[in-house]
Amino acid sequence: MARSPRIVFPALALAGAAFAFYTVLTAQDPTPARPAVSPPSNPYATAVSGSGIVVPPSERNVELGAPFAGVVTSVFVKAGDPVEADAPLFQLDERPLQAELRTREAALAAALARRERLRALPRPEEVPPLVARVSELEMTLADWQSQVRRMETALEKNPGSVAGDDLERRRWQAKAAGQALERARAELHLTRAGAWAPDLAQAEAEVLQAEAAAQVVRTDLERARVRAPGPGVVLEVNVRVGEYAQAGGGGLVVFGDRGAPLVRVDVDEESAPLVQGRPKALGTLRGFPHHRFPLEFVRIEPYMKPKRSLTGDNRERVDTRVLQVLFRIAEQPLPVYVGQQMDVYMEGPDRTAIVEAGSRPSTGEGR
Amino acid sequence: MIYVAWRMLVGDRVKYVSLVLGLAFAIMLITQQGSIFIGIMRRTYSMLTDMGAVRVWVMDADVQTPDDVKPLKDPDLLRVRSVPGIAWAVPLFKGQGRARTRHGEFQNAMVLGLDSASLMGGPSEMLEGRITDLYRQDAVIVDAPGALRLGGLKIGDVLELNDRRAEVVGICRTERNFQSLPVVYTTYSRAQGFVPAERHMLSFILTAPQPGVSDAELARRIRANTGLGALPTDEFGWRTVRWYTRNTGIAINFGTTVLLGFFVGLAIAAQTFYTFTHENLRHFAALKAMGAGDGKLVTMVLFQAVVSGLMGYGIGVGVATLFGRSAPRGGPLAWHTPPELLYGAFGLMLVLVSIASVISLRKVLTLEPGIVFK
């Protein structure tokens, strides 16, 4: 008992110190969580990073609209359908056009009939009365002339046997009969000549006009059926049977063409000078860092655009511009879809080296 | 002679016990207060500790602490990714939102938006659920104390965050943060719905260097290439601690307590040791009379001081560590004992016992051997 503190204290002290050091030295910071998926990493020694969006081979989606306003009566495709060139996509209501077409076709028929009537002139029945009339007038003239002759002969033989006044009247009658005959002959000639050429030309022109007017409606009928501009894939169908499609504005059917998709990569303006030549590039899809998509350089857009923010907040101020570089996706280790985002690394020169090279005094007078 | 000194030390049990316990108490106080101080300071950068996989933090150049954030612009992420020597860079959103439970309780919460694809920076220890459940619709993961404060959340419970529905898919354990706010983990893209709208979301960019590039070198390159602020994780932690030391009273307040512990310990130890030496003067005188030189006596006194100091130290740090260890990690007690604190306490113990022995030595050295016969 008497010895106890002598032993107990050193023992306690040893135990305490050992415990303290053991606890402290073995205590560790929490093991860092491994990320669920490792983030995309830079595959090149020096690289420029960009965020890309997959676009169809023609670079832009084709947003098809209605050529004129109207109710949609049929939709022939659904999203994802492959279609050939000129395949019908949807149909606008064509009944008003059909009605209009019938009116126009009736007008054409009228114009044609008018022209045919002119061409058919003279009407055969009109000629014989005129011919008869001419014969009749010829006879009347001959009658008057013979009376005049007879009176003149009688007057020569026996002056005073005929009243001079009577003879004068018959002479005038004969002249009038001659004029009447002239007129009847002219009328017969006019009738026999048929339609006047300028009248015919006018009728001809009216036929052409009516034909053209009908053709306008037929073209509209053709346009009422919207067709694929080329072979490709229907990406979106935003129209349903019964909806009223407004003229102008696209997007009723979004159409993309086939082939290897492109990726349009945004490079921040501060990195833009580092995109040089035809850079090699690799892309990864979000969440799949180990599937690398080899990319073939297509071109650099020469005009830098304001950065379109992808946060979706439309109040976000655009305060930076981006260089857009187009690449073709050469291989697809995973399926990609138009509109998908892609992280892209482009091989590029060492920025530090360039910046530091520019700061050497040889470039200009120091301040 | 050493044996004589040892016998002298343990000869009087009462003095021996009070001497050792006095020293133990002083050391315990210093260690305990120091640990709590360090623990609280660590909470100021608990997020950095939680996200241990992140090696370099990129932020606005003037950010001082992880709690005071000036968001970056989205394209800055691309610029950082283009820095040579970087292995990866992912965005992190940090903001505050108000969480409301089904029962109507509400509570400010820290919302962390992790990179939607990699979930980098996610909690290291899941108590319930899996971190990959964050890929699910409306999913959030809440830390355990936060879940408790929000009315005992369980998996499948639904929270309202900024008028949006958020479904709890997991409970995790994290380091406590300084404000003890519940931590809500979600994905970067979803986080923007969970806090009132801000124009920029990119609070931090989390990065790591490629093999062969040091953290400090990567941070330097990022600073040089982008003009943004970039710090290795530990430096960012230190910057935070310095900021809190300068701008809050925590350091002064805890400093005085540690100092108080030191002085209390010094007073007890010096006084007990002095009394102890004083009462043993007769024995020293006898030794002197028997021909022991001053050197011998000094060695004896120092031996007694150091031995009692060592015992006090061992007991003190032992008790303090036991106390700290009984507190659960992530619990309300902010406790962290780094090895440096134990070394420091050892140094302080040496200082303490040397002061105590110096005071006592004067008496021994000026001792007249004659008093033995008085």
DSSP per-residue codes, B36-95: HHHHHHHHHTHHHHHTTT--EEEE-TT--STTS---B-THHHHHHHTSTTEEEEEEEEEE
pLDDT of residue A367: 38
* CB of B46 closer than 8 Å to CB of B175: yes
Distance, in Å, from the CA atom of A75 to the CA atom of A226, rounded to the nearest integer, reads 10
Task: Establish if B10 touches chain A: CB-CB under 8 angstroms.
Answer: yes
E-only strand ranges, A147-230: 225-227
Q: What's the pLDDT band for B152 if we cut at 50, 70, 90?
A: confident
Domain-located, residue B221: yes
Same domain, residue pair B223 and B352: no
Q: What's the pLDDT band for A16 if we cut at 50, 70, 90?
A: confident
From the list B90, B117, B311, the residue facing A9 with the nearest CB is B311
Do the Cβ atoms of B339 and A21 come within 8 Å? yes
Q: What's the pLDDT band for A78 if we cut at 50, 70, 90?
A: very high
Tally of helices (H runs) and strands (E runs) in chain A:
6, 15
Same domain, residue pair B32 and B117: no
Supply the DSSP symbol for A251: -
Q: ipTM > 0.95?
A: no
Q: Kindly report the number of other CB atoms within 10 A of residue A264's CB atom.
A: 20
Same domain, residue pair B203 and B269: no
Task: Establish if A354 touches chain B: CB-CB under 8 angstroms.
Answer: no
Do the Cβ atoms of B82 and A348 come within 8 Å? yes
Distance, in Å, from the CA atom of A257 to the CA atom of A75, rounded to the nearest integer, reads 19
pLDDT of residue B329: 64
Same domain, residue pair B351 and B223: no
Same domain, residue pair B94 and B204: yes
Same domain, residue pair B176 and B94: yes
| Helix H or strand E encompassing B29 | helix B13-44
Is the peptide bond prior to A82 cis by the omega test (within 30 degrees of 0)? no
Distance, in Å, from the CA atom of B348 to the CA atom of B29, rounded to the nearest integer, reads 12
Q: Which has more pLDDT, B231 or A260?
A: B231
> Which structural domain range is residue B298 located in?
2-43+249-373
Same domain, residue pair B223 and B253: no
Please give the span between the terminal C-alpha atoms of chain B, in angstroms, as a whole number.
24
Domain-located, residue B150: yes
Domain-located, residue B301: yes
Supply the DSSP symbol for B129: S
B26: burial class by Cβ within 10 Å (0-12, 13-18, 19+)?
buried
Strand order in the sheet with A62-64: A62-64, A253-257, A232-237, A82-83
pLDDT of residue A363: 45
From the list A36, A320, A352, the residue facing B75 with the nearest CB is A320
Same domain, residue pair B331 and B293: yes
From the list A14, A37, A352, the residue facing B119 with the nearest CB is A37
Same domain, residue pair B187 and B310: no
| B245–chain A nearest CA distance, Å | 22
Same domain, residue pair B270 and B223: no
* CB of A226 closer than 8 Å to CB of A89: yes
Supply the DSSP symbol for A27: -
Please state, in angstroms and as integers, the Cα–Cα distance from residue B213 to each residue in A216, B84, B210, B216, B227, following that order: 73, 10, 6, 8, 19
Report phi then psi at B122, rounded to 5.
-70, 170
pLDDT of residue A365: 43
Task: Enumerate the residues of chain B whose CB falls inside 8 A of the CB of residue A289.
Answer: 117-118
Distance, in Å, from the CA atom of A173 to the CA atom of A142, rounded to the nearest integer, reads 11
Domain-located, residue B365: yes
pLDDT in tens, B33-50: 888 888 888 888 888 888
Of A209, A223, A210, A244, nearest to A101 (Cα)?
A210
pLDDT of residue B271: 83
Task: Enumerate the residues of chain B whose CB falls inside 8 A of the CB of residue A9.
Answer: 16-17, 20, 311, 315
Question: Helices B339-365 & B250-279, crossing angle to 10 degrees?
Answer: 30
Q: Chains A and B: how many Cβ contacts under 8 Å?
A: 196
Domain-located, residue B239: no
Q: How many domains does chain B have?
A: 2
Do the Cβ atoms of B81 and A49 come within 8 Å? yes
Of B95, B77, B42, nearest to B234 (Cα)?
B42
pLDDT of residue A312: 47
pLDDT of residue A3: 53
Please give the span between the terminal C-alpha atoms of chain A, in angstroms, as a whole number.
86
Do the Cβ atoms of B124 and A32 come within 8 Å? yes
pLDDT of residue A318: 55
Same domain, residue pair B220 and B358: no
- Min mean pLDDT across A28-37, A87-96, A160-169, A180-189 is at A28-37
Three-state SS at A76 = coil
Domain-located, residue B234: no
Same domain, residue pair B195 and B254: no
Domain-located, residue B211: yes
Q: Which has more pLDDT, B22 or A73?
A: A73
Of B86, B143, B133, B89, nearest to B112 (Cα)?
B143
Three-state SS at B155 = coil
Domain-located, residue B124: yes
pLDDT of residue B232: 93
Do the Cβ atoms of B314 and A14 come within 8 Å? yes
Task: Enumerate the residues of chain A whose CB falls inside 8 A of the CB of residue B192.
Answer: 311, 313
